[in-house]
Structures are given as structure tokens and as C-alpha cells.
Amino acid sequence: MSAQVATQAPVAAVPPASAPSAAAAVPTGTRHAARRRARQRWLRRVVLGVSLTLLALPIVALLEFSVRYPLTGAVDLDAWRKIVSGRTSEYQTLAPLWTGLTNSLVMCAITVTLMLVLLLPTMVWVQLRRPRLGRALELVCLLPLTIPAVVLVVGLAPVYRVISTRVLDSSTIWLSFAYVILVLPFAYRALAAGLRSIDLVTLSEAARSFGASWWVVLVRVVAPNIRSAIVSACFLSVAVVLGEFTLARILARDNLQTALFQINLSDSQVAAAMAFLALVGTTVLLVVVDLLMSRSRPTRPHAPGVTAS
């Protein structure tokens, strides 16, 4: 008896259902947003790198010129040794440079003080009491940008003739009065940005409701809330004063730039080295003040039950 072998048709193996891939699980809009953010980060890095390169090239060239002899191209630190010794030659010293630097630093302090005393209370008062005068104040503050420095000197020369002979004296530091006019456009923009970032009306009304005087409102309420804007206005003013040449030259006054010009006539490498030192010193001062401001800025406490991300 033959055994009957039951044969079955082969059954095709069905692959198990696989989990959806990570790419399919991510929405298309999210992938596009991620790629867009990546492109933006790359573009920001490129723009930042190009900007830093363009800013660094003149500084590096200035440093190289101060240490490389122009005729032979050999590296020589003679200009820096002259600065340390205080003499550019046997018969010439760096006394005019130190005089000009001292005058410029004193004028920086006077200009910044006058700018803050005149501009900040005026802007706060206009924004609180006379908002319609805001456009007129902006026009007056931005007007020095449209007036060439030579034209400004022509108008200021008779004024300084009277100041030097009848009111004060011929000291260089009185150029600070003219420098206040020059820094108005830059300081106004910085302070205006700070005032727009706060609710000035609410803050002042709250302080006044507690019996604070207008001086207290300005010094203890408004100024701390726009501290970064005030610092920016001060540094812009310092940069303008340290770099000003036309007024001081035509009015026969001595500041840092006129001293560098005089030294450049006899030893251009020493002038380049001192310009490099002034630039580095200003940059370091800006970074230090910014770090101090960031450390002194109070941190806001988190609300209960909310975890900081």
C-alpha cells in the first residue's frame, strides 16, 4: 500500500511590517525649516567671517608697517623702542604725543559729560511731555551730519576767538564744546533706540505715584533701564573725539590726531605704532566695560514651577 504524500503549494513569505522611517516620520515642513536654519547659520558665519577679515586687514597692515622697514622690508622693532624710550630722534621727543593724548582724554570726559547732561534729559522730557517735538529734536541732532567739518570750522572760528580772548583761554580742552555738536547724531541714535525699548510713560508714572521727583525718575528709573544705550552713546562719543582732526588742525589746537600727524612727518613708523596702540587700547576698554556691564546686570528670577530651558 503506497503512502500518499500530501503536498502543499509553497506559501510566499510575507515580510513583517516595518516601522516608518525617521525621515517619513518627520513632517516635510519641519525638514524644510531645519534646512533653512542651517543655511541661515552658514550664511551668518560667512558674513561674520568676511566682516572680521575686512576689519582685521587694515589693523594687521598697520602693525606690519610699524615693524617692517619700508626701504629694505626687514623686520625692525626700532619704532617700538622709540616709543618706550620716549624719543623719536636725538633732538625730538614724544612730548607732543603725550600732550595730545592727554588733551584728547580730557576732552572725551568733558564731551561725554556734556552730551549726557544736555541730551538725555531733553529726550526724556520731549518723549514724556512734548511728543510732537520729537521730529524737530531729531532733525536738530542729525543736522551736524549734513554740515561739512570745514564749514563748521568757519562758523566756530569767531566763537572760539571770543572764548579764547574774553571768556576762557586758548586751551585745547575747550574744543569739547564743538565736539558735543559733532557727537549729537551718534549719541541721539543710541539713546533713542534705548528709550524706544522701554515703556517710558508707565515707568515714570509709576515712580511719580510713589513720590519720586523728576531727578529720581531720570537717574534711578530711566537710566538703569537704558544702561546699554548710554554706554553705546558714550563709546561712540569717545570714538568721535579720539578720531577728530579737522577742527583741531584748523583751529590750531593739539589733540591725539594732530600729534600723530606731526610725528608722521618725521617718523611714520612711530606714528603707525602709536595709532595701533590707541586702537587696541580703545578696543580693550570697550570689551572690559561690556564685560563689567554684563556681570552687573541683574538676572531675572524664574517664576515658580517654571523650569528654565
Neighbours of 214 (CB within 10 A): 15
The answer to whether residues 66 and 98 belong to one domain is: no
Note the pLDDT of residue 297: 56
The answer to whether residues 241 and 158 belong to one domain is: yes
Of the pLDDT bands very low, low, confident and very high (cuts 50, 70, 90), residue 303 is: very low
Note the pLDDT of residue 200: 85
Note the pLDDT of residue 6: 46
Yes or no: say if 246 and 150 are a contact pair by the CB < 8 Å rule. Answer: yes
The answer to whether residues 161 and 260 belong to one domain is: yes
Flag whether the pTM goes above 0.95: no
Q: Rounded to whole angstroms, how far apart are CA atoms 219 and 200?
A: 13
The answer to whether residues 164 and 251 belong to one domain is: yes
- pLDDT, averaged across the chain: 80
DSSP H or E run through 308: none
More confident residue, 4 or 46: 46
Note the pLDDT of residue 109: 92
Of the pLDDT bands very low, low, confident and very high (cuts 50, 70, 90), residue 71 is: confident
The answer to whether residues 192 and 283 belong to one domain is: yes
The answer to whether residues 45 and 118 belong to one domain is: no
Note the pLDDT of residue 183: 93
163-217 pLDDT per residue, tens: 878 777 778 888 889 999 999 999 999 999 889 888 888 888 888 888 888 888 8
pLDDT at 37 > cutoff 70 = yes
Q: Rounded to whole angstroms, how far apart are CA atoms 84 and 106?
A: 23
Inside any domain, residue 5: no
To 5 degrees, how large is the angle CA 283–CA 286–CA 291?
125
Give, in order, the Cα–Cα distances in Å from 127 to each of 1, 139, 153, 196, 309: 115, 15, 32, 10, 37
Q: State the residue range of the domain holding 246.
A: 91-295
Averaged pLDDT, 29-56 = 85
Q: Rounded to whole angstroms, how far apart are CA atoms 152 and 108?
A: 20
Q: Identify the domain boundary among 8, 42, 76.
A: 76
Of the pLDDT bands very low, low, confident and very high (cuts 50, 70, 90), residue 296 is: low
Tell me if residue 250 falls in helix, strand or coil.
helix
Print burial letters for 233-246: b (CB count within 10 Å at least 16), e (below 16): bbbbbbebbbebee
